[in-house]
Amino acid sequence: MSASARPSACPGLLRIVPALDGGICRIKLPGGVLRSAQARAIAEAARHCASGVLELTNRSNLQIRGVLPGQESALIDALLSAGLGPRVAAADDVRNLLLSPAAGLDPQARMDVRPLAAQLLDLLQDTPALHALSPKFALQLDGGEALAMREHPHDLWLAAEDEQHLLLGLAGCPGDAPVTRVEATQAVELVRQLLLLFLELATPEQSRMRQLLTQVPPSELLQRLQARLDFPLQPAPAHWQPAKTVSRPPAGIYPQAQSGLCMVAAGAQLGRLHAEQLMALAELCEQQGDGELRLTPWQGLLLGNVPEAGARELLTALNDLGLLSHADEPLLGLVACTGSAACARGLADSKHHALHLAELLRTSGARPQVHLSACPRSCASARVQPYTLLASTPDHYQLYQRTPEAPGFGRLLAPAMTIDEAGAWFARQYPAGKPDA
């Protein structure tokens, strides 16, 4: 397998892209699941070939930062030997399928979507025509879990209506109005034909579904899709509602569908781990879980199949490792890009500022959900957070609040404020006892 891949600014396992702190290598994990042996391999490779700094992404993947010059091939070989790459090089970019980290375990789930997820990943890898999809083109499969991120916009999404039926949506999130309903057994063929149709209709400039829909209305796209299928597309239910989900990034102990077992979740500080932490996590998930780490779209992790009697001990161990194990921790509500310390586009050191903001929030008791972005690209958060601090100078940010009426980050509340001023503003907005956003 060659380390070369299509031109793109997006990092991949086979395409290490430069940053101010060294190369970035992105590892796409099927269903966000990382086996303990693979975690050890990543930790070892990150220590020997890079800085040892790891990032958990907002699509349940993992990045190695600070790849050293001349170590790219050794890193790639180590990761491929651990079974972390695609079956064929051209498929690396298109393995973009987001699940709940609690898939198959969550007692609220309407369907265990893991078998279907495996089929869809096989489809993306084993269909050469689909390798032409953009590295940003992404799918979401929602089984109705409570521990789910439904605010990420995807190019297409499938959501379980019940154990036998799925709803399809285009260029949005589970919770938006679905466009059609299908039997679960028809889902793979539906996705295959829809993706092939997208590639047939889209111009080179239309790399995302939302761009195609500006020229081809959803009703026309469905009509064309129906002509390619040998089963009928069913009308979408008029009053469908997605399952309820958590309002904040998960941390703590959660019930599991399987008797006597539970799930334990924790966050990584601003999405970052060090290789030594990952090595310790591999040991913990073998000793107290099922040997798997499930990465979350909140830039954290979840251990499933934990015996209830050992859950509290595991949560304490995660806290001792430096992970965010308490639901009240203000850092759980903060998302920050890599910032000017490691990105040439960054106007401010957003990671450093986020740590300072967390200290201010810890003192005041305010617990807002805030995205600190060092430039308008918004790399760190796929969804729009309730509040965004967008850097305008190395020391100043614009403050935005998400509203249904305003596009992008939302409504501009303040054109320039320091982090100290932002901390004071949130303290006024969220006095002790007031619920967070």
What tens digit of pLDDT does each residue of 373-426 get? 999 998 888 888 999 999 999 999 999 999 988 888 999 999 999 999 999 999
Looking at the fold, whether 63 and 149 belong to one and the same domain comes out as no
Looking at the fold, whether 222 and 130 belong to one and the same domain comes out as yes
151 in any annotated domain: yes
Query: Worst-scoring range by mean pLDDT, 61-70, 162-171, 291-300, 380-389?
Result: 380-389
Structure tokens of 134? 């953009």
Given a cut of 90, is residue 6 above it in pLDDT?
Answer: no
Looking at the fold, whether 285 and 308 belong to one and the same domain comes out as yes
Total of domains in the chain: 4
Identity of the residue numbered 9: A
176 in any annotated domain: yes
Looking at the fold, whether 102 and 213 belong to one and the same domain comes out as yes
pLDDT tens per residue, range 165-194: 999 999 999 989 999 999 999 999 999 999
288: domain CATH number? Answer: 3.30.70.3340
Please say whether the beta carbons of 160 and 143 come within 8 A: yes
Looking at the fold, whether 72 and 180 belong to one and the same domain comes out as no
CA–CA separation, 286 and 292 (whole Å): 7
Please say whether the beta carbons of 257 and 106 come within 8 A: yes
Looking at the fold, whether 221 and 278 belong to one and the same domain comes out as no
Looking at the fold, whether 114 and 224 belong to one and the same domain comes out as yes
Looking at the fold, whether 107 and 84 belong to one and the same domain comes out as no
- Tell me which of 58, 91, 124 is where a domain ends: 91
Looking at the fold, whether 143 and 223 belong to one and the same domain comes out as yes
Q: Average model confidence (pLDDT) for the chain?
A: 95
117 in any annotated domain: yes
180 in any annotated domain: yes
User: Strand pairing of 334-336 and 370-373?
Assistant: parallel
437 in any annotated domain: no
User: Strand pairing of 97-98 and 139-142?
Assistant: parallel
Identity of the residue numbered 22: G
207 in any annotated domain: yes
CA–CA separation, 324 and 201 (whole Å): 45
Per DSSP, what are the bridge partners of residue 389?
Answer: 372, 399
Please say whether the beta carbons of 26 and 11 come within 8 A: yes
Structure tokens of 359? 């200290």
Q: What pTM does this model have?
A: 0.94
CA 177 distance to own-chain centroid:
22
Looking at the fold, whether 170 and 288 belong to one and the same domain comes out as no
Q: Which domain, by its residues, includes 30? A: 17-91
Looking at the fold, whether 209 and 278 belong to one and the same domain comes out as no
312 in any annotated domain: yes
255 in any annotated domain: no
Q: Edge-to-edge strands of the sheet including 154-160?
A: 97-98, 139-142, 154-160, 165-172, 180-183
Task: Give the 3-state secondary structure of residue 304.
Answer: strand
- Tell me which of 235, 252, 281 is where a domain ends: 235
Looking at the fold, whether 114 and 230 belong to one and the same domain comes out as yes
Please say whether the beta carbons of 64 and 41 come within 8 A: no
Q: Single out the residue of 78, 46, 92 nearest to residue 65, CA to CA.
A: 46
385: domain CATH number? Answer: 3.30.413.10
pLDDT tens per residue, range 310-324: 999 999 999 999 999
Please say whether the beta carbons of 41 and 59 come within 8 A: no
